[in-house]
Amino acid sequence: MAAKKKATKKKSSRRYWLFKSEPNSYSIDDLAGERMQTTFWDGVRNYQARNFLRDDVAVGDRVFFYYSNSKPMGIAGTMEVVREGYPDHTAFDPDDHHYDPKSDPDEPTWFMVDVKLIQSFPALVTRGDLKSETALAKMMVLQRGSRLSIQPVTAAEWKAVHKLAGVKDL
DNA sequence: GCCAACGTTGGC
DNA sequence: GCCAACGTTGGC
């Protein structure tokens, strides 16, 4: 039978991402301490980032855990996506810092995914380290004014960062 | 602490 | 629909 199967999500090869967090609010050690070393990545309140979480980030994708607004800044380790985009319930909680009264539970505005720790790098790969690597010159997080908190990463960048960290790509 | 780069809001 | 004002992000 030649009937086309309708897919809600295009099947494609594994993708790579970078998620930002301020380690003062949530660090890779916090993730390591979670049950199953897994958590939901909540609080994204930007439409472009939301679209990535809702439409593109898929189970099995790999993610850099990036420390922003910290000293030092950089990539702390890697995570695997274990649940694809679903409504961010913290938007419905008036007591939550990321509460958004405009997000309707019946038609949620904001989405999140679940991530599981793959590895903490032996040492933070700092922003300075990243900048000194010519292969990473075009990496989005290094571009001026790159405020997006969910960013796509190329396979080559994924590999180059592991080389800088001196670890295997698990 | 400063400020450039954005994103959002609201008056018109 | 335009755009000035304002708020936030996040590197330096």
Would A131 be classed as within a structural domain?
Answer: yes
Tokens encoding A123? 């040492």
Would A8 be classed as within a structural domain?
Answer: no
pLDDT in tens, A42-82: 999 999 999 999 999 999 999 999 999 998 999 999 999 99
Nucleotide closest to A102 measured between CA and C1': B8
Would A7 be classed as within a structural domain?
Answer: no
Q: Which pairing describes strands A150-153 and A62-67: parallel, antiparallel, or unpaired? A: unpaired
pTM of the model: 0.91
* CATH classification of the domain holding A40: 3.10.590.10
pLDDT of residue A1: 52
Would A1 be classed as within a structural domain?
Answer: no
| Nucleotide B3 C1' to residue A124 CA (A) | 27
On strand B, nucleotides with any atom < 7 Å from a protein CB are 4-8
A72 prior amide bond cis, ω within 30: yes
- Return the nearest residue to B8, CA–C1': A46
pLDDT in tens, A106-127: 889 999 999 999 999 999 999 9
pLDDT bin (cut points 50, 70, 90) of residue A3 is low
Q: How many domains does chain A have?
A: 1
| Nucleotide B3 C1' to residue A70 CA (A) | 18
Would A74 be classed as within a structural domain?
Answer: yes
How many beta carbons lie within 10 A of that of residue A130, not counting itself?
Answer: 22
Would the Cβ of A147 be found within 7 angstroms of any atom in strand B?
yes
pLDDT bin (cut points 50, 70, 90) of residue A161 is very high
Sheet of A38-40, strand order? A38-40, A111-126, A74-87, A62-67, A16-21, A150-153
Domain extent, residue A82, equals: 16-165
pLDDT of residue A2: 52
Backbone dihedral angles phi then psi of residue A15, each to the nearest 5 degrees: -115, 165
pLDDT in tens, A73-103: 999 999 999 999 999 999 988 888 888 888 8
Which residue has 């008036």 as its token pair? A94
Would A98 be classed as within a structural domain?
Answer: yes
